Structure 1
Amino acid sequence: MDSVELLLEATGEELLRSDWDILKRAGLPSQARHTAASNRAHITLLAAPRIPAEYDSTLAALAEALPLPIHTAGLVLFRTGRGQVLARLGVVSRALLDFHQTVHQALDGVPGVTGNCVPDRWVPHITLARGMTSGQVAEALDLLPGDHGQLILPTLRRWDSHEKTTTALGSTTG
């Protein structure tokens, strides 16, 4: 799946990587086990089988609305066919909901957008681990801090899963 994502500023990235490291050191599933340079803490705005590069200039123009703040509000679980996904929940603000809606309107021609990303069904979150059992989730909850407070989302990027590349579409941090 290709995706359009919001990245965290450096301090927020460090906090989330700390979460990943806590899980990894405990022998639990963790995003820290993904060692690709493209593996960054992020919030997915839209995912689809293919997001053509032709949308990049439109998305870059939308990125001028960044940065956006987001408050993390504890942990959330998503059940999947391959175990549970543990994530930090992001509290939605009007600005974040409007930005999300605008991205979807701009990419209206992209087929196959995943249902959990569409407006009114989207839950902003930052994945910590995938494929966890219930026992592993219980252990993780004992280890992880409950909240990281307000974080800043200054950067928009597009992940191309076919080419395994990311394209920066705009950033307030250079």
Structure 2
Amino acid sequence: MALMVPGMHLPPLCAPAYVNGQILPSVSLSSLSNEGLNWTCLVFYAHDFDPVNGGSVISECYRRHQAFSILGCSIVLCSTDSCYAHLAWMKALKALGTIASATIPMLGDTSHMVARACGMLDTCKGVARTGLVLVDPALSVHKVIVSKEGFHAGLDAALRHLTASTGH
């Protein structure tokens, strides 16, 4: 599928997930939005054990997690790694002191279904591109950002859009 554009609707998506220290065999994207939080920022990256993509993207999402929560938005991470890779990566980040606990859900998109549906799959490499898809409570896409470099700017843009859209 081509890259999603604002106005499109996110299809119902299910995938295995690493959530709060547990591996769940299949969860819907809509069920991962924390209670009371209606928007979802689906963040894509290639691999956990890639210090450039996985390390910086995940760390930046954890750093900004509270800012998104205040605006009523859940962050959900997604790579084409398995949930077992997510588990190992989060243990490594905790051991390094990079994060205190694994509170952001991580989809294990080994089937490539989620990345493909969102137009974020690099089909030549078989991995997710680095970027994000911001959706409202009705699963309508508001912002799509694909970033080769400077992923932090994409999170800034998503936060600005949320601030304007939610009136916070």
TM-score (norm 2): 0.29
| Structure label with greater radius of gyration | 1
Give the structure with the larger strand fraction: 1
TM-score (norm 1): 0.28
